[in-house]
Structure 1
Amino acid sequence: MSYDGVGPRAVMRSVAFLTAGALAVPLLAGCGSDDEGSRPLAGQDIAPAARAQVTDGGTLRWAVDTMPETLNTFQADADASTTRIAQAVLPAMFRLDAAGRPQRDADYLDSARVVETEPRQVVVYRLNQQAVWSDGREIGAADFAAQWRALSGKDSAYWTARNAGYDRIEKVERGANDLEVRVTFARPYADWQSLFSPLYPKDVTGTANDFNDGARKKLKVSAGPFAVQKIDTAEKEVVLARSPRWWGHPAKLNEIVLHQVARDKRAAALADGTVDVADIDPADADRITLADGAQGSSPFQGPAGGRTAAKALRSWALVHGSDEKAAGRERRALAAGRGTLTTYLRQQDALRGVKVRKSLEPAFTQLALNGAGGPLADERVRHAVAHALDRKELAEIVLKPLGLPATPVGSHLALSGQAAYADSSDALGGQDTAQAKALLADAGWVAGTGKEQDKQKKGEKAAGAQGHKDAGGGDGDGTYIVGVNDDIEHNGDGKGRPRDEESAENGARTRQLAQDGAPGAYAPRGTAAPAGTVAGPLAKDGKPLTLRFVLPSGPGSETLRKVADRITAMLEKVGIATDVTKVPDESYFRDHIAAGQYDLALYSWPASAYPATDARPVYAKPVPAADGSLNVQQNYTRVGTDQVDQLFDQALATLDEGRERDLVRKADARIWASAGSIPLYQRPQLVAVRDTLANVGAFGFQTPVYEDMGYLRKGAKGPSGASS
């Protein structure tokens, strides 16, 4: 699991909605035109090539974050590696296209449609007559029925992570012939296309023992262009071999090897040939682009490139000077630096054969606001946080340097290009500092420390809130507008230090600001603070308004921390302080997000082609469990409403695609209004790929076509026109 993202659908996916009073919101129609969001913000970047241009044979080594704990995607510990393997070796009735919309997979399915709606919904699947399992048995109704029974939730012996959709099926049976499967639903189910993808053989789903343990480390029977050949825990790799039983276009590659490589080791692994394809972070993308031949670039822009001319001169002086101890230290540092530089330059030379493919992931990063308790239990404070954010600026921080569209995400439930997408963010509203401050004031958060508020209650004039006279002027008829409170200096890190620790130089600077008319000057009472002025710290009942902002600390989290720094500054402008807590990667999601030990956090959710099914547990209203605990499902913000739940239920029950889409959009508008999470930007997808490979890279929404991946034939030209 990554920490700016989560695993596959198996891992995915209370405050009442206010209709009146201080938090009136616009009409929550949440609907847009049918054409809205009809195009993804960024296209695929996979070096497409016709199959005739791709050679037969070869091994592709693909870096993954972890070895799979299980090969069963329906178990709780399934991860991205599990999903990748399933896509290559198992049937799927529907797969996603480049716009994130489900399309029939013709290798398995000739047709699938709803043939009856009354008295029951009935779907008939007509299978490709060539579709067989690797043991030669036809794929058929017995496999569909066994999977339904395993995932229906009726038999607790099956350890399943989800049963959405399968729990609505009444029966599965053979149709008019062996190629037909007839599925009858007890309750209408709009997202029926999400079912049986992937489809496991009855050898896996037929008994609880086979389901729970049999498919964790091996798949004896499969039905895809590749098959699992071996799992080598010592070498940390899974070998997928070309399947001789595959009836579709033969796989071009002999093998795909999924090899576990840490993120911070991937550039080196690409350089030494350990891997050929790897998801990478922006720093490695810059490095590979530099190696690829950026005009006018210098190799010293790498790790050793930070030595300025002044540092180099100092180094020379130390080495050749009279201070032997200092000279010795510098000689050792130079020797170590030469070794690092030599390794770096050798790797850069090898990386010239690697390209960075760029797109946007089908996932978005959000700011999560924990509404279970503390200041954020008040919807007004959550709205204030939202109004403090400039989402466009935050998207640009991440995406603009990469040359990717920096458009803020406008929906919790779909991304641009998907049928359900509509920008419903107007239900909450955009950046508005004045509104944020007004909401905080209405919620009882006012300027000054707890001590100052105690003074106010006793009738004393609080410094920084009602004003005081400076020795240099002021007659008491104005308000002294300050960027920091007079008793506490705010440092932008959620902490402060007593003013009496401030240097005389800083005091002189403050007085000069007052004389120059900058923030800190006297103004007539009631005059608004200048734009951009940092608000003083806020407090209520003697307690400061400080939110615990939890972030991962490991390599690869630099982008999140950069975004968090900017969010902290934005919140500071409206008087909200943050206490930034950096925690180990391995405990970030488990011990903090899922456990609710945070006020603010940044993490991502994947987009789904079936939001009514997959997003419901993410935004469902938490309910008390039998043991007295709170059942939050995957709603880690603990913010939900009855209306949102009802809209999801209605969307799931309609078979009218247009009505389902409208209901999902209305649900999204109400999710915006509750302000439990604020979508920020679609995640960048950066994939380093050897330049001789075709049909692999940054796939965006689309399910990869594994049988078309391979190495370009000698002399064949890729999309850039370069010959291999």
Structure 2
Amino acid sequence: MDATTRRGRTRPHATRARAARSLVVATALAMVITGCSSGSSKSGGAAPQSAVPQLSASDINAQPVSALKQGGELRGWLEQWIDQWNPLQVDGTYGDSVEIMKMVEPLLFRIDASGKFQPVPDFLQSATVVSTSPQVVLYKLNPKAHWSDGKPLGYLDFKAVWQADNGSNPAFNAASTNGYNQISDVSQGDDPSQVKVTFSTPYADWQSLFYPLLPAAGISTPDQFNKGWIDQIPITGGAFKLGAQDKSAQTITVVPDPNWWGDKPVLDKFTYRVLSQSAVTQAFLNNEIDYASAGRADAYSQLKADKDAVIRTAGPWDEVHISFGSNGALADQSVRQALGKAIDRTSLIKVMSQGVPVTFPELNNHIFMTNQAGYQDNSGEWGKFDPAAAEQLLTKAGWQDAGAGKPRTKDGQALELHFIVAAGSSQQTLDMASAVQNMLGQVGVKLDVDKVPDNDLDEKYINVGKFDLATWRNTGSFPPSLVIPFYQQPSGDNVYENYSKLSTPEIDSLLKQAASTLDPTAAAKLYNQADAKIWELGHTLEIYQRPTVGAYRKGLANYGASGLADFDYTKVGWQK
């Protein structure tokens, strides 16, 4: 699995993890993204014109089970050995382990290709908000669903997850308390198959909780929660179970559970082997694994030539942007707006996509991806490349033209800014910074590209807001409430994840309203209103949704390019 990226902030040359549930799935994060368009208005005040994406949102060679051979094996890969299997524990958010846990534990909902949660009938008959004041969700479980120890799924499992993850007991080293800390009670409904979850304050993204569900018998004490899942999965409750773990050979197998009550899985076995990134391409070419990352130009050129390979491309929740600081000249909103207008995003996308065989879709929203329900273009005039307008804004802000090739001046000071990059950044990132330097120079802004030690970039620069311009990736920030900390109004010394320290009471209010709005359409409208204000603020210049590219062995079905969606592993197999 090419899944080491977790939800959070990621520098272009390295992974930056955040303690949260990972939504990144195998190399197969994919949808065909060439030609994506917003198909919507420029106004943040209007509801999205389309409730679903305009294009097909997955490329997984979808086939009916009747067209597949029964049995067989899928050979995959891991980037590192898995020690902690508990996905709710702070050390268990590694993408590969989370993905396997979604195979062996109850997945109440699967996310579809537009980013919507759909109930999984094998575990969940229905889940409904039965009251809004207070918010109460009633889950009706499949009575057949049970754990490997024979106990049926029930409210005690939900209660144990809530108590471990709500932050009330710091002895539970929870990866995230988001949502769980808004629950006030978990109880049984009218019968043992019903679970009532009551919230103290409305939580719109309630479907993202209990994902996957874990058994009370395995997480009820801090010792069980923190240590009981190290090197083992003590209790399972899905269609699969862990087969063998061979640490010396660095292999893990996942096999069907004969006690599974749902449709029989197609494959006999999934085998995962730890491989370095540099070894993956050759392993595929040697017919040792069945999929490989093809996102680099060198890997793509080799893999596309393999007669047994099919290239699939996709757009997960993964964005690349340039953030503006709030110090010095950039404390003036007009200056930040001018920078946004002076930067040609289309040209930057060409720089960043050189040698990659797919189109990088321009991103015009800070909260939704181009293939996500609710997406619309809110960039308006602030995302439009217009050097003349940039010059007018700078002049209006008091920065006077000093002549061709010279930086503008104000009160005897030159307009000189700094773009902070890690010394170990990829050549693409350095090329992007150089291109921005040239673009800003055309409007009288002197931009220095400062290389800083890799280990200092976060702690000494980004985290403390010590930058004029900086770039990183935000990944897997779904559902939308996870984006809020990026733009939330700082509270004293707590900037949340808003390292630019830029916000307004209006933006803050709109985001909080959206997160508490249970109707998805109404919530999307509020998020888009906030997004339009974020563009106007000059907080962040979104550039593109970062695609992934994978090579898959011919005949592999119902697996590959899933984009925002979850896989149904029971249907993965090989065509007849």
**What one-letter code is carried by the residue in structure 2 that aligns with 1:369?**
F
Q: Distance in 2 between matches of 1:56 and 1:552?
A: 51
**Pick aligned residue for 2:388 from 429, 434, 438:** 434
**Shift in CA distance, 286/189, structure 1 to aligned 2, threshold 3 Å:** closer
Match of 1:331 in 2: none
Write the deviation string for residues 197-235 of structure 1: whole angstroms up to 9, x where unpaired.
Answer: 111111333111211222243221122222234554444
- Give the aligned CA root-mean-square deviation in angstroms: 3.0
Write the deviation string for residues 67-114 of structure 1: whole angstroms up to 9, x where unpaired.
Answer: 445323233342222321222222222221111211112221101111
Match of 1:568 in 2: 437
For structure 1, the residue ranges without an aligned partner over 5 or more in a row are: 14-26, 292-350, 449-464, 466-481, 485-535, 625-629, 714-724
Match of 2:498 in 1: 635
**What one-letter code is carried by the residue in structure 2 that aligns with 1:605?**
N
Q: Helix, strand or coil: the match of 1:123?
A: strand
Is 1:427–1:669's contact at 8 Å kept on the other side of the alignment? no
Question: How far 1:171 moved relative to its partner?
Answer: 0.9
1:690 is aligned to 2:553:
yes
Larger CA deviation: 393-402 vs 167-176: 393-402
1:537 is aligned to 2:407:
yes
Question: How far 1:636 moved relative to its partner?
Answer: 3.0
Match of 2:108 in 1: 93
Name the structure with the higher helix share: 1
1:283 is aligned to 2:297:
yes
Match of 2:118 in 1: 103
**What one-letter code is carried by the residue in structure 1 that aligns with 2:535?**
W
1:418 is aligned to 2:433:
no
**Shift in CA distance, 279/114, structure 1 to aligned 2, threshold 3 Å:** same
Q: Distance in 1 between matches of 2:71 and 2:369?
A: 37
Q: Helix, strand or coil: the match of 1:698?
A: coil
Q: 1:247-396 alignment to 2 at 5 Å? A: 247-288=261-302, 290-291=304-305, 351-371=306-326, 373-396=327-350
**What one-letter code is carried by the residue in structure 2 that aligns with 1:135?**
D
Is 1:90–1:223's contact at 8 Å kept on the other side of the alignment? yes
Question: How far 1:278 moved relative to its partner?
Answer: 2.2
Is 1:548–1:581's contact at 8 Å kept on the other side of the alignment? yes
**Shift in CA distance, 208/108, structure 1 to aligned 2, threshold 3 Å:** same
Is 1:420–1:661's contact at 8 Å kept on the other side of the alignment? yes
**What one-letter code is carried by the residue in structure 1 that aligns with 2:340?**
A
1:170 is aligned to 2:184:
yes
Match of 2:171 in 1: 157
**Shift in CA distance, 687/581, structure 1 to aligned 2, threshold 3 Å:** farther
Is 2:514–2:523's contact at 8 Å kept on the other side of the alignment? yes
**Pick aligned residue for 1:701 from 558, 564, 567:** 564
Question: How far 1:559 moved relative to its partner?
Answer: 4.0
Question: How far 1:122 moved relative to its partner?
Answer: 1.5
Match of 2:87 in 1: 73
**Shift in CA distance, 562/249, structure 1 to aligned 2, threshold 3 Å:** farther
Q: Distance in 1 between matches of 2:423 and 2:142?
A: 47
**Pick aligned residue for 1:668 from 531, 534, 538:** 531
Q: Distance in 1 between matches of 2:444 and 2:359?
A: 31
**What one-letter code is carried by the residue in structure 1 that aligns with 2:113?**
A
**Pick aligned residue for 1:614 from 476, 482, 487:** 482
Write the deviation string for residues 334-382 of structure 1: whole angstroms up to 9, x where unpaired.
Answer: xxxxxxxxxxxxxxxxx332222112222221112233x3443332332
Question: How far 1:124 moved relative to its partner?
Answer: 0.8
Larger CA deviation: 178-187 vs 704-713: 704-713
Is 1:608–1:614's contact at 8 Å kept on the other side of the alignment? yes
**Pick aligned residue for 1:181 from 175, 185, 195:** 195
Match of 2:53 in 1: 39
**Shift in CA distance, 576/75, structure 1 to aligned 2, threshold 3 Å:** farther
Q: Distance in 2 between matches of 1:589 and 1:66?
A: 24
Question: How far 1:595 moved relative to its partner?
Answer: 5.1
**What one-letter code is carried by the residue in structure 1 that aligns with 2:347?**
E
**What one-letter code is carried by the residue in structure 2 that aligns with 1:548?**
F
**What one-letter code is carried by the residue in structure 1 that aligns with 2:469?**
L
Is 2:555–2:575's contact at 8 Å kept on the other side of the alignment? yes
Larger CA deviation: 169-178 vs 416-425: 416-425
Is 1:647–1:663's contact at 8 Å kept on the other side of the alignment? yes
Write the deviation string for residues 579-601 of structure 1: whole angstroms up to 9, x where unpaired.
Answer: 33456767655665445454323
Write the deviation string for residues 99-142 of structure 1: whole angstroms up to 9, x where unpaired.
Answer: 12111122211011111234x22211001122111222111111
Is 1:447–1:537's contact at 8 Å kept on the other side of the alignment? yes
Q: Helix, strand or coil: the match of 2:307?
A: helix
Question: How far 1:401 moved relative to its partner?
Answer: 6.5
Is 1:409–1:415's contact at 8 Å kept on the other side of the alignment? yes
Match of 2:32 in 1: none
Question: How far 1:179 moved relative to its partner?
Answer: 0.8
Match of 2:218 in 1: 204
Is 2:68–2:573's contact at 8 Å kept on the other side of the alignment? yes
1:547 is aligned to 2:501:
no
Q: Distance in 2 between matches of 1:12 and 1:389?
A: 32
Q: Distance in 1 between matches of 2:341 and 2:554?
A: 45
Question: How far 1:701 moved relative to its partner?
Answer: 1.4
Q: 1:485-496 alignment to 2 at 5 Å? A: none
Match of 1:604 in 2: 473
**What one-letter code is carried by the residue in structure 2 that aligns with 1:223?**
G
Question: How far 1:676 moved relative to its partner?
Answer: 1.9
Larger CA deviation: 362-371 vs 54-63: 54-63
Match of 1:711 in 2: 574
Is 1:42–1:405's contact at 8 Å kept on the other side of the alignment? no
Is 1:231–1:238's contact at 8 Å kept on the other side of the alignment? yes
Q: Distance in 2 between matches of 1:597 and 1:261?
A: 37
Q: Distance in 2 between matches of 1:12 and 1:577?
A: 40
**Shift in CA distance, 684/106, structure 1 to aligned 2, threshold 3 Å:** same
Q: Distance in 1 between matches of 2:339 and 2:245?
A: 47
Q: Distance in 1 between matches of 2:188 and 2:438?
A: 62
**Shift in CA distance, 64/380, structure 1 to aligned 2, threshold 3 Å:** farther
**Could you state the TM-score of these two structures normalised by the residue count of structure 2?**
0.86
Match of 1:3 in 2: 11
**Shift in CA distance, 603/257, structure 1 to aligned 2, threshold 3 Å:** farther
**What one-letter code is carried by the residue in structure 2 that aligns with 1:378?**
D
Match of 2:449 in 1: 580
Write the deviation string for residues 671-704 of structure 1: whole angstroms up to 9, x where unpaired.
Answer: 2222221111111120111223222212111111
Number of residues paired by the alignment? 547
Question: How far 1:37 moved relative to its partner?
Answer: 6.2
Question: How far 1:41 moved relative to its partner?
Answer: 5.0
Question: How far 1:657 moved relative to its partner?
Answer: 3.3
Is 1:367–1:677's contact at 8 Å kept on the other side of the alignment? yes
Q: Percent identity?
A: 31
Q: Helix, strand or coil: the match of 2:346?
A: helix
Q: Distance in 1 between matches of 2:106 and 2:570?
A: 14
Q: Distance in 1 between matches of 2:329 and 2:233?
A: 50
**What one-letter code is carried by the residue in structure 2 that aligns with 1:675?**
G
**Shift in CA distance, 376/69, structure 1 to aligned 2, threshold 3 Å:** farther
Is 1:427–1:670's contact at 8 Å kept on the other side of the alignment? no
Write the deviation string for residues 487-523 of structure 1: whole angstroms up to 9, x where unpaired.
Answer: xxxxxxxxxxxxxxxxxxxxxxxxxxxxxxxxxxxxx
**Could you state the TM-score of these two structures normalised by the residue count of structure 1?**
0.69
Question: How far 1:146 moved relative to its partner?
Answer: 0.7
